[in-house]
Amino acid sequence: MSPEINPLALFVASIFTSNILLANFLGMCSFISISKDMKSSNGLGLAVTLVLFVTAGMNWVVYNLVLVPLGLEYLRYIIFIVVIASIVQIIEMIIDRVSPRLYITLGIFLPLITVNCAILGVSLFMEIRQYSFVQSLTYGLGSGLGWWLAIMLLAAIRRRVEKAPVPAGLKGPGITVITIGFMAMAFIGFGGMLPVQ
Amino acid sequence: MDPTAFLVAPLVIAGMSAGLAALISITDRYVNDYGDVVIDINQGSKKLDVKGGANMLVTLAESGIYIPSACGGRGSCGECKVKVNSDVGPHLPTELPYLDEKQMEQNIRLSCQIKLKADVGIEVPEYLFNIKKYSGTVESIRDLTHDIKEVYVNLGDEEVSFRAGQYGQFEVPPYDKIKERTQRAYSMSSKPSDKNHLEFLIRLVPGGIVTTYVHERLKEGEKINIVGPFGDFYVRDTEATMICVAGGSGMAPFKSIFYQGVENGLFEKRDIWYFFGARTEKDMFYLDELRELDSKYERFHFVPALSEPEPGTDWQGATGLITEVLDNYLKEKISTETPKEGYLCGSPGMLDACMSVMRDNDMAEEAIYFDKFA
């Protein structure tokens, strides 16, 4: 049975109180490497949101209408990844067509969304928490927006940090991870305000 | 337990994968269909209606405009530069190593890296319009060494005019697992006055698509296509001493240059040193012909060198790496007073090593000429 949570509440929760990045620490690799630059962060945030929304829906359909009736739940990891990889491929082609500039800016990180843990994480949470179709969609979209928000915040902070006197040994990823830690603590303040399961 | 149960999981995975693959193909079909685009060359001097979606180098070649490309469009030679007048997006990371700041400013691009998505205006040198695809018949194939073949192609009634030292793209048909026609650049070794023929020296590169074909399949009498001529590796019209260095099939452009030289009096006009390096005696070729030139012309000096001469053979020439021999001659035998020009042809490693030897001996970098077929 799906939990009785208003899809809209789930949407808000996944952006703020249970942010996929700052509460669950998923999707860190591209989060750290791309957040150097606001423009690319914005593009990647958009791409992740798009992929999350579409894959959450697709994977819900595949899981509940194909895998569950056939008793093949144990195949979910393989199937989820195959679905995600294909969706990323398709989105890649569309972005290349619609906005070649964004395509070039995202470069290698666009195909790398395939192995972004946040994407698989959302699909697995959706299955573990037994979300309904609508809940999955709002949770997927919300998580994407949450990820986008988090990377934009981090990119903005990093721009300030660049000018700050950071000890040599902490420059780059070091201070970034510490920054993320502070951000996560701030977000944890909201933890549990809205239930997600 | 129902035996069909074992089939369900593989079938589901296969079915899902097939369905998603189909979805990708359909998207590819519609999203990557860029329709027809117009390429405007040299501000209206030529307009091409072509199909979009492929890279510019290939599309131009299909319409009979052959931009020079030594690597065949893999983005590793940086030869296929064109000036692009319309917006085709920022420079790609794959282009950056081959462009300097000035070229970036003028929006010079590598045509093999640019996908045609919309109408585009480009500028290319007019002489490129003279580059053609020649079809000929293989007249003879001769083994020069255990791994170098001399391929002589008859162009029939067609005439070709090129400068000694230039190269052509040798095209072979699909074979085995190679599904498309493949071109690779080889310097012409025939003399330009032989207008109905082109000759190439092709060394077997393990795993090379074209060289393997030439060595294992190409037969006399076979039809073959050659696109060309390309390149700015030719003898500059000065009186400077020519320091020529070659290894292996790098002999080709020099054969062409020297045989033309016999006809146009190059050897009377200037001093020429020709260093040719090989590993062992079985890698040497054209020795007699070149030694004959050496004894006939006072100003031509042929220096063959073996890096690993087999003990017991009576090798008469120099020994050691070609760079050592070159260094030695530049320091001791060749006049340091006269200006010099360097002409190099061989593997990228050999080119770099010879370049640094030449630089160390005060030769000007602008006066060292070479083709990089990497």
pLDDT category, A1, cuts 50, 70, 90?
A: low
User: CB distance from A104 to chain B under 8 Å?
Assistant: yes
Sign of CA pseudo-dihedral B187, B214, B127, B87 = negative
Sheet strands (E) in chain B: 36-41, 46-51, 81-84, 108-110, 120-123, 132-143, 148-154, 167-172, 182-187, 197-203, 223-230, 241-247, 272-278, 300-306, 318-319, 340-345, 368-370
- Contact between B111 and B88 under an 8 Å Cβ cutoff? The reply is no
Task: Sort out which chain B residues have CB atoms less than 8 A from A78's CB and list them.
Answer: 13
Q: Give every CB contact of residue A96 below 8 A, 6+ residues apart in sequence.
A: A103, B31
> Which residues in B172-190 are b (16+ Cβ under 10 Å) and which e?
beeeeeeeeebbbbbbbbb
Prediction ipTM score = 0.80
**Domain boundaries B36-128, CATH class:** alpha beta
Q: What DSSP designation does B178 have?
A: B
Amino acid A20 reads I
pLDDT per position in chain B (374 positions), as tens?
677 778 888 898 999 999 999 999 998 888 877 888 899 988 877 888 888 888 899 888 888 888 888 777 888 888 888 999 888 878 887 888 888 888 888 889 999 888 888 889 998 887 777 788 888 999 999 999 999 999 999 998 888 888 899 999 888 888 888 877 888 889 999 999 988 999 999 999 888 889 999 999 999 999 999 988 888 888 998 889 999 999 988 999 999 999 999 988 888 889 999 999 999 988 999 989 999 999 999 899 999 999 988 887 788 888 889 999 999 998 888 887 888 999 999 888 889 999 999 999 888 888 899 877 64
B92–A70 C-beta distance less than 8 A: no
- Contact between A10 and A136 under an 8 Å Cβ cutoff? The reply is no
Query: What pLDDT, on a 0 to 100 scale, did the predictor assign at position B1?
Result: 61
For residue B104, is it left (φ>0), alpha (ψ between -120 and 50) or beta? Answer: alpha
Query: Rounded CA gap, A184 and B311, in Å?
Result: 74
The domain in which residue A138 lies consists of 7-188
A75–B13 C-beta distance less than 8 A: yes
Q: Report, as an integer, the average pLDDT of A126-149.
A: 94
The shortest C-alpha distance from A77 to chain B (Å) reads 11
Alpha carbon of residue A18 to chain centroid: 12
User: DSSP states of B188-235 as a string?
Assistant: B-S-TT-TTEEEEEEEPPTT-HHHHHHHHT--TT-EEEEEEEE-S-S-
Q: Which residues in chain A (27-46) have CB-CB distances under 8 A to chain B?
A: none
Query: What pLDDT, on a 0 to 100 scale, did the predictor assign at position B15?
Result: 92
Q: Give every CB contact of residue A77 below 8 A, 6+ residues apart in sequence.
A: none
Task: Sort out which chain B residues have CB atoms less than 8 A from A77's CB and list them.
Answer: none
> Which residues in B218-251 are b (16+ Cβ under 10 Å) and which e?
beeeeebbbbbbbbebbbeeeebbbbbbbbbbbb
Task: Sort out which chain B residues have CB atoms less than 8 A from A107's CB and list them.
Answer: 93
The shortest C-alpha distance from B120 to chain A (Å) reads 15
Query: What pLDDT, on a 0 to 100 scale, did the predictor assign at position B265?
Result: 87
Query: Rounded CA gap, A160 and A169, in Å?
Result: 18
With H, G, I as helix, E, B as strand and everything else as coil, classify residue B126.
Answer: helix
For residue A46, is it within any domain?
yes
Annotated domain spans of chain B: 36-128, 131-230, 241-370
Query: What pLDDT, on a 0 to 100 scale, did the predictor assign at position B373?
Result: 64
With H, G, I as helix, E, B as strand and everything else as coil, classify residue A11.
Answer: helix
Counting the structural domains of chain A, the total is: 1
A66–B89 C-beta distance less than 8 A: no
Q: Report, as an integer, the average pLDDT of A109-131.
A: 88
Query: Rounded CA gap, A191 and A17, in Å?
Result: 5
CA torsion A48-A51-A57-A61 (nearest 10°) is: -130
For residue A29, is it within any domain?
yes
At residue B217, φ and ψ (nearest 5 deg) are -125, -35
Query: What pLDDT, on a 0 to 100 scale, did the predictor assign at position B374?
Result: 47
Query: Rounded CA gap, B339 and B355, in Å?
Result: 16
Task: Sort out which chain A residues have CB atoms less than 8 A from B28's CB and list them.
Answer: 93
Which residue out of B11, B27, B116 would a mutagenesis test of the A interface target, given it has the greatest number of A Cβ atoms within 10 Å?
B27
Query: What pLDDT, on a 0 to 100 scale, did the predictor assign at position A39?
Result: 82
Query: What percent of chain A is predicted at pLDDT more than 70?
Result: 98
For residue A2, is it within any domain?
no
For residue A143, is it within any domain?
yes
CATH of the domain spanning B241-370, picked from 3.40.50.150, 2.40.170.20, 3.40.50.80, 3.60.120.10 = 3.40.50.80
What token pair was written down for B249?
């099939």
For residue A100, is it within any domain?
yes
Q: Give every CB contact of residue B24 below 8 A, 6+ residues apart in sequence.
A: A86, A89, A90
Task: Label each residue of B144-168 as H, E or C.
Answer: CCCCEEEEEEECCCCCCCCCCCCEE
A62–B16 C-beta distance less than 8 A: yes
Is residue B309 reached through a cis peptide bond, with omega within 30 degrees of 0 on the bond before it?
A: no
For residue A194, is it within any domain?
no
Q: Looking up tokens 């090379």, which residue turns up?
A: B208
For residue A193, is it within any domain?
no
Query: What pLDDT, on a 0 to 100 scale, did the predictor assign at position B357?
Result: 92
* CATH architecture for the domain at B131-230: Beta Barrel (2.40)
User: DSSP states of A22-72 as a string?
Assistant: TTT--SHHHHHHHTT-HHHHHHHHHHHHHHHHHHHHHHHHHIIIIIHHHT-
Least confident span in A100-114, A174-188, B73-87, B118-132: A100-114
For residue A14, is it within any domain?
yes
Query: Rounded CA gap, B360 and B271, in Å?
Result: 21
Q: Is the pTM of this model over 0.80?
A: no
Tell me chain A's radius of gyration from C-alpha atoms.
17
Task: Sort out which chain B residues have CB atoms less than 8 A from A93's CB and list them.
Answer: 27-28, 31-32
Q: How many CB atoms lie within 10 A of CB B14?
A: 10
* CA–CA distances in Å: residue B362 to residues A139, B325, B330, B357, B365: 70, 16, 10, 9, 9
Q: Looking up tokens 């990323």, which residue turns up?
A: A88
Query: Rounded CA gap, B166 and B186, in Å?
Result: 9
